[in-house]
Amino acid sequence: MLPMPVADLNAISEELGRTGAHVHVLWQTPESLVFVARGRPYRSEFHINPGDETMTMLRGEMKLHYRTPEGEEDVAVVREGCTIYTAAGIPHSPRFPPDAYLLVSERMRRGGEIDRFQWYCPSCDAFLHEETFVVDDYAKDPVSKAYANFFDSEEHRTCGKCGHVAPRP
């Protein structure tokens, strides 16, 4: 049985800032996953999580870009001390600076569930590319792996509709 962990969120945020790491997993159990994330200035993809999640801004402000059921992009602003609920299946992109920190709580993935990461053309909004992962351990940082696969390929970053090439960070 997992002991009742107490996490010093300020100390964890400071550690992330000092080390440059993006994620600090507080705990992973069969039913829950909780982690602190530091902002990534280059974040542009939309993550599609197979489960619900809540996000609470510990420090700073986040612009949570998301895609509506009609496929339109919209933005919710989440200020420091505020929280937002994101239902399973909603494409969302948490965008906040590297000196801002976010507490994320969600359930662990069930066997075979797939996380999806999608990019859209910054010029014409056409679909560009999708990366998929089975996430069995969030400490492996699947977001960074998705980004590496996307940004390392000019083909993935080139729009088939308008020809625009999404820039590398």
pLDDT confidence bin for 1, thresholds 50/70/90: low
pLDDT for position 104? 97
pLDDT at 137 over 90: no
Distance in angstroms (rounded) separating the CA atoms of residues 163 and 71:
21
What pTM value is reported for the model? 0.91
End-to-end CA distance of the chain: give it in Å, rounded.
Answer: 42
**pLDDT, tens digit, 9 for 90 and up, residues 85-100:** 999 999 999 999 999 9
pLDDT for position 42? 84
Percentage of the chain with pLDDT > 70? 99
Class of domain 9-157: mainly beta
pLDDT at 47 over 80: yes
Domain boundaries, the chain: 9-157
Phi, psi for 164 (deg, rounded to 5): -65, 140
3-state class percentages of the chain: helix first, strand second, coil last, to nearest 5: 15, 35, 45
Q: Around Cβ 90, how many Cβ atoms within 10 Å?
A: 18
